[in-house]
Chains A and B, each alone.
Chain A
Amino acid sequence: MTIHRDYTGSKMGMWIFLFTEILLFGGLFVIYAAYHHRYPEEFHHASKALDTAMGTVNTVVLITSSLFVAMAVAALRRAEDARARLLVVLTIAFAGVFLVIKYFEWTAKFHHGIYPGSAELAATHAPGEIVFYSLYFAMTGLHAVHVIVGMGLLGFILARMRAGAVNSTDFVFLENGGLYWHLVDLIWIYLFPLFYLIA
């Protein structure tokens, strides 16, 4: 039967999986909204401690990687296999850059005693600010996990492309990997203003 060639079905499955991801983050957005409403001043103040420049660069990096993977799908469908593979490699590389920048941001915070469960944080900051940082680590942390998973997934797809199993007539795996990667981008599009720009 044609079950395994049902591209629309595969894509539908992927979209539904993305819905679950959206609602996974959705729970955190519920909490963010409630606390932002309760502590507008503290959120404003705590947000100033985040590095907007780094956040902006990361936004650019992630959106660009999103472009690469979208182009990779387009290239594969045009049977431009080598270009498609190069674009997937670039996507993964940019994801790596995103994580490196994130790493520097987080370690800088740690040096200032800002990390989950920190006694120094609890002693020196207002409750609303502590909540802000807890949310910052929870949401960007969960997002970073998704970046890592996405890199692994795209790496696996790249291997399948090299093996010829994912090609111009059978490209739904790359397309689904791309969808996942766009979702990671999509979440960041909201995280960026919520944490960096409300100061």
Chain B
Amino acid sequence: MHAHEEGHHPPSYRLLIGVWGALMVLTAVTVWVAQVPLGFLNVVAAMAVATCKALLVTLFFMHLKDENWTFKGMVLLVFVILAIFIGFTFFDTAYR
């Protein structure tokens, strides 16, 4: 009954290799930025780059961009929950 929901074309090899290239560039960027002493901003930069890479992997390699909003919403929910777990722990650890 759901046979036709798979109608998306498979992604082209060129697109996948392009995403891989972007991931390589971002890896180089994050290694390079880590050498620059920015103090606390180093952590922020590293996490920002990692999140960009994670977005590329989920959207293109894992085809999240082709999925419907149910899937996207679920993924979002998970990251919100994880952010809550980490963030709320700081109500304790940051003020002790």
A residues neighboring B (CB under 8 Å): 2, 5-9, 11-12, 15-16, 19, 22-23, 26-27, 29-30, 33-34, 36-38, 52, 56, 59-60, 63-64, 66-67, 70-71, 73-74, 77-78, 178-179, 182, 185-186, 189-190, 192-194, 197-199
Contacts and interface: CB of A to CB of B under 8 A. Distances in A.
A12 B71 CA distance: 7
- Is chain B's interface secondary structure helix, strand, loop, or mixed overall? helix
A2 B54 CA distance: 34
A193 B34 contact: yes
Nearest to A77: B10
Interface in B36-91: 42-43, 46-47, 49-50, 53-54, 57-58, 60-62, 67, 70-71, 74-75, 78, 81-82, 85-86, 89-90
A37 B71 contact: no
Contact of A67 (B3, B16, B47, B62): B16
With a 10 A CB-CB cut-off, give which of A11, A189, A192 has the most chain B CB atoms. Answer: A189
B66 to A, nearest CB: 11
B71 A15 contact: yes
Nearest to A70: B61
Contact of B82 (A23, A56, A66, A193): A23
Contacts of B57: 66, 182, 185-186, 189
